[in-house]
């Protein structure tokens, strides 16, 4: 599904920006945003009651919801030993990984991804890699990797150094909502194992999950234009630098946050206390527990507010801006920056 032009644009983008070779238009598929694919992938792959779906310990909640929609069982995975000894009833059918991670911004290195792929293939497990923040990698390019691409150093699950040149059993999910600010367009895609993509496309066709033509045309234009992506990254990078400096000066700790649109922040206390600490300064953040029990001592802070709101947040984090000052002035609702679960 999808016009040939958009599928060719996806293939070219994968090779140019993500160091992925060997894809064909038959091995990629545009989707109506990445969230709907995450939510429906277990169902599209035919999973159901009794099947296990591995999800990250700290993660976007839709991985869990997608497993439940299929009436499969989500299992939190913090390592390949999380499933214990694999038996026919304890072998997952699908394993989600998310790198760069939401909300943590952690990036999985090539060696880790290659280990996951080898293990999954040994046991016949499909690996779906959500890579939506890959173009927003804040680390310098890795000069040791031949063919390193300008998008940053985040490796794709389809990178030949990860998958050995074969895409069997692998799916990479990507969205233009982050790199191109196209969230309202619902413009995303999946690529990888052509047999899996073909099976997914067949179900989607009958379910009416076809992307409108104008959105496909917008995708073709966005995927061919690297300049606007660089502009977006620069804009977010300036905001990130300002917030990192302000948070550090205020005594907070930023962990991971190597890539993506968020900062993973802790005061080494329950996240609800930290949410209150920020709220007293007129700043809205998301409690880490929203993303799993393992996130209970962190909050997620977004870079997606306007430059003016980011500057306001920086000012409110200053030691000379006492807590409660906004409440006294009646501006408690005037939040400086916001985090949403999307």
For residue range 87-98, what is the model confidence (pLDDT) as tens digits? Answer: 777 788 999 999
For residue range 184-238, what is the model confidence (pLDDT) as tens digits? Answer: 999 999 999 999 999 999 999 888 888 999 999 999 999 999 999 999 999 999 9
Q: Does position 328 have pLDDT exceeding 50, yes or no?
A: no
List the domains of the chain with CATH numbers.
Answer: 4-225 (3.40.640.10), 228-329 (3.90.1150.10)
For 142, the token pair is 């890795």
Q: Does position 342 have pLDDT exceeding 90, yes or no?
A: no
What is the percentage of the chain residues whose pLDDT exceeds 90?
Answer: 80
- The span from the CA of 67 to the CA of 54, in Å, is 9
- By residue count, the chain amounts to 342
- Residue 336 is predicted with a pLDDT of 43
Nearest CA to 74 out of 39, 116, 37 is that of 39
Q: Does position 338 have pLDDT exceeding 60, yes or no?
A: no
E strands, the chain, are 28-32, 52-56, 73-77, 94-98, 126-130, 170-175, 187-192, 253-255, 262-266, 286-287, 299-302
- The span from the CA of 188 to the CA of 82, in Å, is 30
HSE-CB for 221 with a 13 A CA cutoff: 9
Q: 70-74, 137-141, 217-221: which has the minimum mean pLDDT?
A: 137-141
Nearest CA to 38 out of 113, 106, 128 is that of 128
For 18, the token pair is 């993500």
Going from the C-alpha of 192 to that of each of 96, 102, 156, 199, the distances in angstroms are: 14, 22, 11, 12
Instruction: Return all residues near 5 (Cβ < 8 A) that are at least 6 apart.
Output: 216, 217, 220
- The span from the CA of 271 to the CA of 286, in Å, is 9
Instruction: Return all residues near 3 (Cβ < 8 A) that are at least 6 apart.
Output: 213, 216
């Amino acid at each position: 599904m999808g016009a040939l032009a958009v599928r060719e644009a996806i293939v070219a983008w994968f090779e140019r920006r993500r160091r992925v070779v060997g894809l064909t238009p038959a091995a990629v598929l545009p989707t109506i945003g990445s969230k709907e694919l995450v939510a429906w992938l277990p169902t599209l792959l035919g999973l159901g009651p009794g099947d296990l779906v591995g999800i990250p310990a700290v993660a976007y909640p839709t991985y869990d919801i997608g497993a439940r929609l299929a009436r499969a069982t989500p299992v939190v995975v913090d390592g390949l030993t999380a499933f214990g000894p694999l038996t026919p009833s304890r072998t997952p059918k699908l394993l989600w990984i998310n790198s760069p991670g939401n909300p943590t911004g952690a990036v999985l290195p090539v060696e880790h991804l290659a280990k996951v792929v080898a293990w999954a293939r040994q046991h016949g497990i499909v690996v779906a890699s959500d890579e939506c923040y890959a173009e927003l990698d804040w680390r310098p390019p890795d000069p040791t990797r031949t063919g390193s691409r300008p998008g940053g150093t985040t490796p794709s699950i389809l990178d030949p150094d990860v998958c050995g040149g074969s895409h069997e059993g692998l799916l990479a999910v990507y969205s233009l909502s982050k790199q191109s600010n196209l969230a309202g367009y619902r413009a995303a895609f999946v690529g990888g194992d052509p047999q899996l993509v073909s099976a997914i496309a067949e179900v989607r066709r009958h379910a009416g999950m076809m992307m409108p033509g104008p959105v496909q045309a917008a995708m073709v234009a966005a995927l061919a234009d690297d300049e606007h992506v660089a502009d977006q990254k620069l804009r977010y990078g300036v905001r990130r630098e300002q917030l990192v400096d302000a948070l550090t000066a205020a005594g907070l700790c930023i962990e991971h946050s190597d890539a993506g649109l968020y900062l993973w922040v802790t005061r080494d206390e329950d996240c609800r206390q930290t949410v209150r600490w920020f709220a007293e300064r007129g700043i809205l953040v998301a409690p880490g527990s929203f993303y799993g029990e393992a996130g209970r001592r962190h909050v997620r802070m977004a870079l997606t507010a306007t430059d003016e709101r980011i500057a306001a947040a920086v000012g409110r984090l200053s030691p000379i801006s006492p807590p409660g000052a906004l409440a006294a002035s009646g501006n408690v609702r005037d939040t400086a920056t916001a985090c949403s679960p999307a």
